[in-house]
Structure formats: C-alpha cells, structure tokens
C-alpha cells in the first residue's frame, strides 16, 4: 500500500493473525512462515496480521521484528494488505518499527505504551506523534491483554487525529462495541480483534475481524465470516458453534500455544513457542487431537488431520 488513502480503501474483511513459527532452538522458521502465508492468501483471506500479541512479539528483539516485517512483505508483496504490529513499551522502538512498517507498504498497528501511570492526555499525544511516521497511517490497537485498555471515550479522542486509519478493538464488551460502532462507524475502519466473538461486532457494522484460530482452521473460520458478509447469520452461527470445544481448550491452555498445537496436528507450520511460553504437553495435545478428530468428522468444517 502506497499511502493512507489506499490503506483506508483496502482495509476490510477477514485478516489471518499469522503465528510466528519458531524452531526448537528459538530460530525463526522462515520457510514455514511463507507456507502459512501462501495458504491463507490462496484460500481467499483479505489480509494478514504479523507480529501481534499472538505472533509473540514481546519475545522478539526490535531487530528481529524488523527482519520479520521485511521478510513477510517480500513474500506478500502487494497481494493483500498487511498489518504489522509495532507496539512496544519504549516509544523509540515503536517509532522505529512504525516508520519501517509504513515504508514497507504495511499498516503499523500501535498500542499505547504499556507503562504505569500514563495519562489519557499522554496517550493522545503519543498517537499524534506516531501517526506522521508512517506513510500509510496507523491502526489503533486496543489490546487489554497486554497493557492499557482504551475506553470508548479515549478512542473517540484518538480517532480524529490525522493518520488514524482504523482500530483493532480488543475490548468486546457490548457497551464498548455499541458505542464505537455508533460513534465511529464510517469515519475509521473498525476491526474486531477476536474470532471468539466476532458475530456481534460484524452485525452492528464493524468492517472486519482478525483471527488467530484461522491459522489452525482457515477453511472453517473463513466460511463463517463469508456467511456473515452474505447476510446468512444462521449459517455463520452454526459454523461458529462447531468449534466451541476448541475455543474452550484455548482458554484453558493459552494462546497461541493451542493454535500451534492444532496446526502441528494438521501438518501445518505452527512451529514451537518461544520462552517464557511453552509448547503443550502430551496430555494437552491429546485433548486437542480429540477435538480435531470430531471437527474432521463433520464435512462442513473442511478440517483434515495429518497422517
């Protein structure tokens, strides 16, 4: 993407949150990452998200994240929009990665710095400072799981700033979703940050979703999302219900650990976790396999098992 206008035009639909496949020694599996990207693009995903929370960015150095950005954009080119997470607690790191992401043609995804006692005014000033660094603008990332939760009121202060392309909204409480859709819909792009509960936000006017579990079940989650887009809420609901047992395991075992385990069982390139996170153990893997066997038995899911 060459500029903010193109970014705004293309930012819609379902984005695969691509896990970062690490080898057992902690090195990147670049070939495996490329295969995952090609799989989801080939299936028809509208975009991908790289190096986010479930991409394990907190376990990477700034240099590693920059290399990840470059390698991914070399693979993707301009075929689909790419969100590149440039979040961090050090504003200097965020500035470096935000500028790089825009220069590469991606859309940098920025959280407020997760430091103690930061004020709303300081958060607004931070976003105002970061946005001009990227020629494609920035995506506000409201990520309660890794730091500060932006209130709807604060989002309404940030959204009109120059360079704000959209928001990836992680606070999915009904009141927050209703206010954001009602107040900001049509002025910036609205993305639901979770595939666990995307049906509601899409029904009230969100522009798209990002999905971690689509790395494990790309066919099933894509079909559910396309049903929503087609106005077929009943089919979307029925497909979404099919993988509730997996969502239950993910809540118990953690993410992206559970998604990577399912990818391994499907013969996909999920790779290993980086410390401090750890791969699932044999007992947990057995439970994931049981869920996959049940999904594979239903022809609606498109799920197959390796071997």
pLDDT digits (tens, 9 = 90+) for 263-281: 999 999 999 999 999 999 9
**Length of the chain (residues):** 307
- Mean pLDDT confidence for 208-230: 95
- Mean pLDDT confidence for 238-253: 95
Average model confidence (pLDDT) across the chain: 95
Residue 22 falls inside a structural domain: yes
Residue 154 maps to which CATH number? 3.20.20.70
Residue 159 falls inside a structural domain: yes
Residue 67 falls inside a structural domain: yes
- Mean pLDDT confidence for 139-155: 89
176-185: per-residue pLDDT in tens? 999 999 999 9
DSSP for residue 185 = B
40-80: per-residue pLDDT in tens? 999 999 999 999 999 999 999 999 999 999 999 999 999 99
User: 245-283: string of b/e by CB count within 10 Å (b at 16+)?
Assistant: bbbebbeebbbbbbbbbbbbbbebbbbbbbeebebbeee
Residue 223 falls inside a structural domain: yes
- Mean pLDDT confidence for 288-292: 96
Q: How far apart are CA 95 and CA 86, in angstroms?
A: 8
Is the pLDDT at 242 greater than 90? The verdict is yes
Name the domain count of the chain: 1
Is the pLDDT at 143 greater than 70? The verdict is yes
Residue 269 falls inside a structural domain: no
Residue 114 falls inside a structural domain: yes
Q: How far apart are CA 82 and CA 1, in angstroms?
A: 9
Burial zone of 226 (CB within 10 Å; 0-12 exposed, 13-18 middle, 19+ buried):
middle
The single residue of 141, 189, 260, 287 carrying the catalytic annotation is 141
Q: What is the domain extent for residue 9?
A: 4-243
The single residue of 54, 168, 260, 287 carrying the catalytic annotation is 168
Judge whether 141 counts as a catalytic residue: yes
Q: How far apart are CA 260 and CA 264, in angstroms?
A: 6
């Amino acid at each position: 993407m060459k500029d903010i206008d193109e970014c705004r035009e293309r930012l819609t639909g379902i984005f695969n949150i691509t896990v970062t496949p690490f080898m057992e020694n902690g090195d990147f599996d670049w070939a495996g990452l490329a295969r995952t990207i090609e799989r989801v693009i080939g299936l028809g995903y509208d975009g991908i998200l790289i190096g986010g929370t479930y991409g394990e960015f907190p376990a990477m150095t700034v240099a590693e994240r920059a290399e990840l950005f470059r390698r991914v954009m070399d693979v993707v080119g301009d075929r689909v929009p790419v969100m590149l997470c440039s979040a961090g607690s050090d504003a200097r790191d965020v500035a470096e990665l935000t500028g790089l992401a825009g220069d590469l043609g991606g859309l940098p995804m920025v959280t407020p710095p997760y430091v103690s006692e930061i004020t709303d005014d300081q958060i607004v000033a931070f976003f105002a400072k970061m946005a001009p660094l990227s020629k494609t603008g920035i995506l506000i990332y409201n990520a309660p799981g890794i730091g500060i939760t932006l209130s709807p009121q604060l989002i309404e202060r940030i959204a009109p700033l120059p360079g704000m392309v959209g928001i990836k909204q992680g606070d999915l409480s009904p009141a927050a979703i209703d206010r954001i859709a009602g107040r900001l819909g049509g002025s910036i792009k609205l993305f639901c940050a979770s595939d666990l509960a995307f049906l509601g936000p899409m029904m009230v006017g969100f522009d798209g979703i990002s999905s971690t579990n689509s790395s494990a079940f790309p066919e099933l989650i894509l079909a559910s999302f396309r049903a929503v887009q087609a106005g077929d809420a009943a089919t979307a609901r029925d497909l979404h219900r099919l993988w509730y047992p997996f969502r239950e395991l993910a809540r118990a075992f953690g993410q992206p650990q559970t998604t990577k385990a399912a990818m391994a069982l499907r013969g996909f390139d999920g790779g290993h976790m980086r410390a401090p996170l750890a791969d699932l153990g044999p007992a947990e893997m057995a439970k994931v396999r049981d869920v996959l066997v049940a999904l594979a038995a239903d022809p609606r899911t498109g799920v197959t098992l390796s071997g």
